[in-house]
Chains A and B, each alone.
Chain A
Amino acid sequence: MFKFLAVRHAQGTQYIANLRQAQAAGLRGLPTIGAPDCATGCQQCVAVCPSQAISLAPLTIDMGRCVLCGDCAPACPSQTLGFSNDFHMASTERSGLHISAARPHIDPVQVSAALRQRFGRSLKLRSVSAGGCNGCEMEINALGNVNFDLGRYGIDIVASPRHADGLVLSGPISRNMVQALHQCWDAMPNPKLVIAVGACAISGGVFADSDAIDRDFLDRIQPTLYLPGCPTHPLTFISGILDLLGIAT
């Protein structure tokens, strides 16, 4: 009994009170793009990017592709590129994930009144890893730990697609998972939505060119929420989903 109490005492208060305002110390998060001062013909950042996330004229980063590896920043001779600790990277539109010097932030998540009314107090999610590397999956698991405690908002990961309102998709969608993914989606009752977690789910990420992936599923169903990252940081996930449902912190 005393051992239980001692462990409980050492645990203290672990939950993060305001998840939107939390600090992700050290996180290599949202890139910063300085005033474009690129030398003519310079392609250094494009060449080192492992997921074709960077395009030039004007210098634009597609956060749906970016894996936040950080390799572009030291490669840039004019020091235009850098990274901030900002984890607010969610968007409801795929096109909203493009950032540039003129548009340094991702388009804010559009709060949906309909979604808020239906799921604002209870949203049940089913996670499907379709070729994920277990990075996003571990971060999705971390959403339920005592620090992030997503359950406090009535948002839970459930065991069966029959109980789920949303499909949390991670991984680039390996061909070998296509059938199971479709079956899971079809087993979910309407109304339902897809949340794309991580660069792999959003764009294929570093696997986009592989012959072993098949992304037809996303041609059929457009995600309601895009959560960039590699893997998606739990704070990116939580702030994005709270914004979508208009939940106050």
Chain B
Amino acid sequence: MTSANASLLLCDLRTLPTLTLTQLSDQCGAQLALGARLITLFGRPLQPAQHPTSAFQVTAVLLVSDGGGHALQVLRAQAQSLEHYPALSATFPCAQSHERELWEQTGLVPDGHPWLKPVRFEGARQQHMHEYPFFVVRGQEVHEVGVGPIHAGVIEPGHFRFMCLGEQVQHLEIQLGYQHRGVEALLLRRPPLALTPLVESVCGDSCVAYAWAYCAAVEALGNRPASLETELTRGIALEMERIAMHLATLGGLAGDVAFLQGASTYGRLRTAIINATQRVCGNRFGRGWLRPGQMLALDTARRVDLIETLTRFRRDWVQVNDLLLHSASVALRFKGTGLVSQTAAQELGLSGPVARASGVESDLRRTLPGRLYSAYPIDTHRMSDGDCWARMHQRMFEVSQSTQWLLGVLGNFSLDLQSPPTPHKPVATTLQANALCVSLIEGTRGPTVHALETDDQGALLHYKIQDPSLPNWFGLAMAMRDNTLSDFPICNKSFDLSYCGNDL
């Protein structure tokens, strides 16, 4: 059932038991109580041909401890239209965004959910953004501040509503969905192997993580897993993307506390990294680097170019970090601001660098390393303080580790990154029938999840995407509690979550 690549799970759906929705909820709850992580939860209408009455297929994916390591587990249930089930969120807050999304997409009702609101206003709810049921804080001196969807900077749209007592924020409510483009429906309209340009456009600052999750899934469904050399070139793309994105965040953080030398230096360092990516694949964001069944050959010239770029980068990078980390004005603004405790991060199911900054061990490159990161491990790191400073520092560590990893694999010339694997098997045009493939990539923001399901003819039946931002947005709301309104820009930037990835 499990593929050789541990960050991917390929199931034959005929071998999986079909639970009731309540059983699925109970079994998920039992696993979560044992410390499992809820990776994703989604539903789709059952095929009308087989089920004339309206019914839904629900899938839950968990990351469970398996002996010394971790493994993915899938639970499947069938549910009648408008069926109710006991909400997991009542006991496990980490399920809150997943159950809300399931409710929004299928109408299945989690009884006892404390925060049952749409996550993106899709389907019939489109253009009803004004009907969002905001939480209301009452009191004589309470006031509200609404910001967005359009913000002062060049940033994606989202609405933030602060419930304040004086300057102090009691609660922040985040309303998203403005970026909803109906991605999951569009993904079913084209041939399953021709989806890369669309997949790269779902969340355009994480093109590589998305494209890799997609490529790995269709390659597994076509029984043509990528070679280790192919994975290496993809890993190089992914770590370049991680460096570039963290640099964008760090530049924004420096700019938000008016540390302009930091902002301009991170800005030009990012230019050097993304221009190097463009010289490899034709695009500054890594578009075109990955395609199913293909390996982008890194010839010696391109490889040396990357090594030289990263070597120059590393020298200036260390210098500017040192400046920032020893600046009293930066420390004063970031230290103790936007605190998320380790317990809160764990309970809310936060992932990626924002979870690691709160001391949660959560990095797929370690927990589900797959073939690539098993063969070429990357050092991961976590902070403990959970404030803006920790999130900034965490990103600095991750950039340094990615740079070191890249220089290690690029500089090891015994690794051939140039020749396509032999014997070359073209990607299969037919996909395994009755299968579910869950593919995970640890992108800049955390686990990028793509789940593809095929029907009995091998046609794509459902394509579920989940960005790590979906559960993480609530972490930002928690970080703002008891902070002041003017702390919001740095809290928001220190999380740097995706709007379009949430909205799909």
Taking Cβ atoms with an 8 Å cutoff, the residues of A that contact B are 3-4, 6-8, 10-11, 14, 24-28, 48, 50-51, 67-71, 83, 127-142, 145-147, 157, 159-161, 171-172, 174-180, 184, 200, 205-207, 209-213, 230-231, 233
Please give the distance in Å from B339's CB to the nearest CB on chain A: 27
A106 to B9, CA, bound (A): 47
CA distance A230 to B271 in the complex (A): 17
Once the chains bind, are A129 and B155 in contact (CB under 8 Å)? yes
Establish whether residues A132 and B156, one from each chain, have CB atoms under 8 Å apart when the complex forms.
yes
Given contacts A26-B282, A69-B196, A133-B203, contact A147 B154 (CB under 8 A): no
Cβ of B299 under 8 Å from chain A: no
Contact among B177, B183, B196, B201 for A205, CB-based, below 8 A: B201
Residues of B close to A127: CB separation below 8 A: 154
Docked-complex contact B319 and A174, CB < 8 angstroms: no
Is the CB–CB distance between B275 and A25 below 8 Å?
A: yes
B186 at the A interface (CB under 8 A): yes
Query: Is B16 interfacial (CB-CB < 8 Å)?
Result: no
Chain B residues whose C-beta falls within 8 Å of the C-beta of A212 in the assembled complex: 122, 126, 180-182, 185
Output the least CB separation between A175 and chain B (Å).
5
A15, closest chain B residue (CB)? B268
Assuming A26-B278, A48-B194, A50-B197, is B149 touching A177 (CB within 8 A)? yes
Known pairs A67-B201, A134-B499, A231-B285; A50 contacts B185 (CB<8 A): no
| Number of inter-chain CB pairs below 8 Å | 196
Find the B residue at minimum CB distance from A28.
B282
Q: With an 8 A cutoff between CB atoms, is B320 at the interface?
A: yes
Give the size category of B's interface with A: 35 or more
B190 in complex: contacting residue of A6, A50, A68, A233, CB < 8 Å: A50
User: Does B283 count as interface, using CB distance less than 8 angstroms?
Assistant: yes
Q: Which residues of B contact A138 (CB under 8 A)?
A: 204-205, 248, 285
* Binary contact readout B262-279 vs A (1 if CB under 8 angstroms, 0 otherwise): 001101101100010011
Contact of B178 among A83, A141, A176 (CB under 8 A): A176
Which residues of B290-346 are within 8 A (CB) of A? 291, 315-316, 319-320, 322-323, 326
Nearest opposing residue in chain B for A178, CB measure = B127
Contact yes or no, B323 A3, CB < 8 A: yes
Interchain CB contact (< 8 A) of B288 among A70, A160, A177: A70
Instruction: List chain A residues, Cβ under 8 A from B268.
Output: 11, 14, 145-147
Establish whether residues A25 and B279, one from each chain, have CB atoms under 8 Å apart when the complex forms. yes
Which residue of the partner chain B has the closest CB to A125? B154
B320 and A172: CB pair below 8 A?
no
Are B179 and A230 interface neighbours, CB within 8 A? no
Q: A135 with B316: in contact, given A146-B264, A205-B201 (CB under 8 Å)?
A: no
Q: Which residues of B contact A178 (CB under 8 A)?
A: 127
User: Smallest CB–CB gap between B170 and chain A, Å?
Assistant: 26
Contact indicator B197/A71 (Cβ below 8 Å): yes
6 interchain pairs, CB-CB under 8 A: A67-B197, A129-B179, A133-B205, A145-B268, A206-B201, A211-B185
Q: Which residues of B contact A147 (CB under 8 A)?
A: 267-268, 271
- Residue B59 at the chain A interface, CB threshold 8 Å: no
Expressed in whole angstroms, the Cα–Cα distance for A137 and B472 within the complex equals: 21
CB neighbours of A174 from chain B (8 A): 178-181, 503
A69 neighbours in B (Cβ, 8 Å): 196-197, 200, 287-288
Min C-beta distance of B221 to chain A, whole Å: 20
What is the distance, in angstroms, from B318's C-beta to the closest C-beta of chain A? 10
Q: Are A134 and B157 in contact (CB under 8 A)?
A: no
The reply to whether A207 and B264 form a contact with Cβ atoms under 8 Å apart is no
Contact with A along B346-362 (1 / 0, CB 8 A): 00000000000000000
Interface pair B282/A27, CB less than 8 Å apart: yes
Q: Which of A3, A176, A184 contacts B180 (CB 8 A)?
A: A176
| Known A27-B278, A134-B156, A210-B181: A6·B319 in contact at CB below 8 Å | yes
CA–CA, A160 to B151, complex, Å? 9
The 6 closest A-B pairs by CB, nearest first: A135-B204, A28-B282, A133-B204, A212-B182, A26-B279, A159-B152
- State whether A134 and B205 are in contact (beta carbons under 8 Å apart), knowing that A69-B196, A127-B154, A206-B198 are contacts in the complex: yes
Shortest CB distance A154–B (Å)? 18
Q: Is the CB of A28 within 8 A of B288?
A: yes
Q: Contact between B126 and A176 (Cβ–Cβ < 8 Å)? A: yes
Residue B500 interfacial (CB < 8 Å): yes
Q: Are B150 and A7 interface neighbours, CB within 8 A?
A: no
Q: What 1/0 mask marks residues of chain B from 415 to 458 whose CB sits below 8 Å from any chain A CB? A: 00000000000000000000000000000000000000000000
The answer, yes or no, to whether B403 is at the interface (CB within 8 Å) is no
Closest residue of chain A to B128, judged by CB? Answer: A176
Provide the bound-state CA to CA distance between A139 and B203, in Å. 14
Tell me which residues across on chain B come within 8 A of A128, comparing CB atoms: 150, 157
B202 at the interface (CB under 8 A from A): yes
Query: Complex formed: what's the CA distance from A39 to B310 in Å?
Result: 45
Residues of B within 8 A of A14 (CB): 268, 271
- Chain A residues with CB under 8 Å of B205's CB are 133-135, 138
The complex places the Cα of A96 from the Cα of B275 at a distance, in Å, of 29
What's the minimum C-beta distance from B210 to chain A, rounded to whole angstroms? 10
A176 partner, pick from B127, B197, B279, B323, beta carbons under 8 A:
B127
Would you give the shortest CB distance from A231 to chain B, in whole angstroms? 6
Given A157-B154, A177-B149, are A134 and B264 neighbors across the interface (CB < 8 Å)? Answer: no
- With both chains docked as a complex, state the minimum distance between the C-beta of B156 and any C-beta of chain A, in angstroms: 5
Name the B residues within 8 Å of A207 (CB-CB): 181-183, 186, 201
Q: Given A3-B322, A174-B180, are A145 and B127 also a contact pair (CB < 8 Å)?
A: no
Distance of A115 Cα from B261 Cα, bound (Å): 35
Is A7 a contact partner of B323 (Cβ separation < 8 A)?
yes
- Identity of the chain B residue whose Cβ is nearest the Cβ of A127 in the assembled complex: B154
- Flag if A3 contacts B498 (CB, 8 Å): no
Assembled-state Cα–Cα distance A160/B201 (Å): 28
A50/B194 contact (C-beta < 8 A), A7-B320, A69-B287, A230-B287 known: yes
Question: Which A residues touch B122, using CB under 8 A?
Answer: 212
Q: How far is the CB of A48 from chain B (nearest CB, A)?
A: 6
B residues in contact with A48, CB < 8 Å: 194
Q: What separation, in Å, do the CA atoms of A15 and B221 have in the docked complex? A: 48
| Distance A10 CA – B265 CA, assembled complex (angstroms) | 9
Known: A132-B156, A206-B198, A212-B122. 20 other contacts (CB 8 A): A3-B326, A7-B323, A10-B315, A11-B264, A11-B268, A26-B281, A28-B283, A68-B282, A130-B178, A131-B180, A133-B204, A133-B205, A134-B499, A135-B204, A138-B285, A145-B270, A184-B150, A210-B182, A211-B182, A233-B284
